[in-house]
């Protein structure tokens, strides 16, 4: 059951700036964002084609939004991961669509495609990439990437960037563990594994949260 999901900057794509409050295009993107966040549970070629069409149609606005929250990169990530997982064809032209194709092709000349594909380059934005990848595919390997970034933020106190990533990872994982059954099931299994002994206390807290 999916009650609510709250990735980080990705969730910001659902927040309507006052200047867009009555904009039908913005509202359509909001609805598409919600569909993206629940895609793997309702995956179908028809569903994907509808989302692909909306993202292709509103690329100018998506790029504008991306200046605030990198939604253009996250939209492209969704398209790429859905293609890779389900073999759905990415259709259309334009910067967002081409970025999706570059992510699939692992085009090393496209810095943003390299960023999406490089799981060692961890930033708060990369956490969003992993959440979008998870909600698109349902693959728990992305939860492993996310869980590896959680833990006591005070341990990274001497490194402000690392401490920020840890705090954000803690918040997002805890929130989705509370509200998303597959994340909670993953956490329940992980808490029993030696591999995650450093995250054991954090996982126990997540599982105890109501």
- The mean-pLDDT minimum among 37-51, 119-133, 150-164 falls in 150-164
Say if pTM beats, i.e. exceeds, 0.75: yes
Q: Burial letters for 182-191: b for 16+ Cβ neighbours within 10 Å, e otherwise?
A: bbbebbeebb
Residues 157, 195, 133: CA angle, nearest 5 degrees: 75
- Please tell me which residue, 26 or 114, carries the higher pLDDT value: 114
pLDDT band at 23; cut points 50, 70, 90: confident
pLDDT at residue 13, as a whole number: 46
Burial class (CB within 10 angstroms; exposed 0-12, middle 13-18, buried 19+) of 147: buried
Residue ranges of domains in the chain: 1-120, 140-210
Q: pLDDT (tens digit, 9 = 90+) per residue, 114-154?
A: 999 999 999 999 999 999 999 999 999 999 999 999 988 77
pLDDT exceeds 60 at position 92: yes
Cα dihedral across residues 57, 41, 70, 13: positive or negative: positive
């Amino acid at each position: 059951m999916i009650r609510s999901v709250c990735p980080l900057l990705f969730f910001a794509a659902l927040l309507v700036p006052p200047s867009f409050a009555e904009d039908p295009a913005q509202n359509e993107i909001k609805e598409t964002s919600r569909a993206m966040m629940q895609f793997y549970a309702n995956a179908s070629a028809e569903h994907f084609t509808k989302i692909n069409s909306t993202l292709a149609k509103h690329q100018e606005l998506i790029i504008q939004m991306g200046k605030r929250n990198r939604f253009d990169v996250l939209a492209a990530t969704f398209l790429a991961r859905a293609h890779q997982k389900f073999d759905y064809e990415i259709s259309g032209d334009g910067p967002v669509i081409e970025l999706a194709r570059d992510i699939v092709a692992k085009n090393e000349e496209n810095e943003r495609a390299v960023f999406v594909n490089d799981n060692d380059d961890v930033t708060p934005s990369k956490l969003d990439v992993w959440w979008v990848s998870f909600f698109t595919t349902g693959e728990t390997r992305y939860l492993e990437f996310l869980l590896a970034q959680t833990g006591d933020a005070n341990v990274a106190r001497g490194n402000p960037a690392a401490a920020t990533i840890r705090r954000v990872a803690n918040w997002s994982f805890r929130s989705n563990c509370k509200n998303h059954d597959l994340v909670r099931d993953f956490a329940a299994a992980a808490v029993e594994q030696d591999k995650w002994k450093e995250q054991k206390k954090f996982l126990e807290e997540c599982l105890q949260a109501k």
